[in-house]
Amino acid sequence: MIRVDQVSLAVQGKAILQGISFALEKRSSLGIIGPNGAGKSTLLHVMGGHLSPDKGRVLLNDADIKTYKAKELARKLAFMQQISQVESRFTAYETVMLARYPYLRWFQTESDRDHQICLQSMERTCTVHVKERQMDEVSGGERQRVLLAQVLAQEPELLLLDEPTTYLDLFHQMELLNMLKQEQGKGLTWAAVLHDLNLAAQYCDYLLLLQEGRVAFFGTPHELFRTNRLEEVFHVGVRVVEVPGLSVPQIIVTPKRVPLTPH
């Protein structure tokens, strides 16, 4: 579905991404994890075609992402914006409706189907009650859910999300990830930058651990937890625990054990 092939990118002479390669099959999910400044957001923007790599390429359905026309790409791939990028003067409904423009022709106005899809997306994300409010008149969590409604209304094959659980309380974090899982069941492929490693392990089929712009690990959460890569990359102690009712182990972070120096 998407393949990142030997991608490297430098900004102002500084290497941000170096030789990144991995592939995701259709209907799978990826959590991009790693310390602050590791290059997670930059990688997501390269995957979304917003940034061109200096070396390597990104293939979407076997075609280089650079070869897609903007509207064509927007019908295949959606990028959930960060709250700070939202145009605050639009109402929540208008914000969601923006997602339908890739489906309209010049001078064509929104159809009944477009309105129906927008409303359904708002129902699914529990945002109908803020429909007529401007985006600066809703809470951070509601704004985040309106943005999710927007990308669902875009009906993409691949959805990229940059820290989508920020601003959400525990219930809505799980709700958002459950919704993504449901969409995955209908064919969606998604990749999200996530800081909560336990949520990432529970909801993502694969985890990509970045360290200083390089891949420190790519594989399933089970495989990651069998290594000591998290300890090495985050410089913390990590204990892996089985939790009854969960199919994936969880981690408890402990202070890094300092080896005792013999006297």
Ligand X SMILES: Nc1ncnc2c1ncn2[C@@H]1O[C@H](COP(=O)(O)OP(=O)(O)OP(=O)(O)O)[C@@H](O)[C@H]1O
What stretches of the chain adopt beta strand conformation (E)? Answer: 2-11, 14-24, 29-33, 55-60, 63-64, 77-80, 158-162, 189-193, 206-211, 214-219, 237-241, 250-254
Among 8, 41, 61, 166, binds ligand X (CB under 6 A): 41
Backbone phi, then psi, for 88, in 5-degree steps? -75, -20
Residue 168 and residue 120: Cα distance in Å, rounded?
A: 21
Does 84 contact ligand X by CB under 6 A? Answer: no
Interface with ligand X (CB under 6 A), residue from 9, 38, 96, 194: 38
Among 40, 124, 143, 229, contact with ligand X (rule: CB under 6 A): 40
Q: Is 18 a residue that touches ligand X (CB under 6 A)?
A: no
- Total binding residues for ligand X by CB under 6 A? 11
For residue 79, the tally of other CB atoms under 10 A from its CB is 20
User: Per rule CB under 6 A, is residue 42 in the interface with ligand X?
Assistant: yes
- Which of 110, 116, 118, 124 shows the shortest CA–CA distance to 93? 118
What string marks each residue from 212 to 251 as x (binds ligand X by CB under 6 A) or -? Answer: ----------------------------------------
> Shortest Cβ distance from residue 177 to ligand X (Å)?
19
By beta-carbon proximity to ligand X, the closer residue of 36 and 261 is 36
CA distances from 193 to 39, 133, 196 (A): 10, 29, 9
Select 37 or 140, whichever has its Cβ closest to ligand X: 37
Q: Given the rule CB under 6 A, which residues bind ligand X?
A: 11-12, 16, 34, 36-42
